[in-house]
Amino acid sequence: MNFNDLIQRFAAQAPGTDSFLKVKEGALALVSSDSRHAAAYFLIYGFARSYVILYEDQGIDPAFAETAKSQLLSYMTRLQEAFKSDAPADIVDAMNWIVLDYGLSGKIF
């Protein structure tokens, strides 16, 4: 599986802890299989892991779950765009943007 596949699968799934669990597992697998982008994958892994830990045993409002999914999907898409340029500076810029955006968000995961 590559990052594009992970994004497409996540986008197609219903929002909820099961879909975040699959992102968590997929991102962790990518850390070891694509070491060039390991930090970016680990960032996504951390967000997905946090969501699973926080909400796996709770009933989640569908609107909340959709908001969380949209936020994580936007971060994944931002990284995917940065990977296309193959410039390390673009990837670092994307990761910095994600961290800053997350800090300003409601920090739902």
Instruction: Tell me the two tokens of residue 35.
Output: 């070491």
41: which 2 tokens?
């994958």
Ramachandran assignment for 100, one of left (phi > 0), alpha (psi -120 to 50 degrees), beta (any other): alpha
Tell me the CA distances in angstroms from 84 to 27, 60, 65, one per residue in order: 18, 35, 29
- Are the CB atoms for 18 and 52 separated by under 8 Å? no
Both tokens assigned to 5: 């596949």
pLDDT in tens, 18-63: 999 999 999 999 999 999 999 999 999 999 999 999 999 988 999 9
Q: What is the pLDDT of residues 52-109, one digit of tens each?
A: 999 999 889 999 999 999 999 999 999 999 999 989 999 999 999 999 999 999 899 9
* Domain ranges across the chain: 3-104
pTM over 0.85: yes
Establish how many alpha carbons lie within 13 A of residue 100's alpha carbon, considering only the half-sphere containing its beta carbon.
Answer: 6
Residue 4's pLDDT is 98
Q: Count CB-CB contacts under 10 A for residue 48.
A: 26
Which residue shows structure tokens 């999907």? Answer: 73
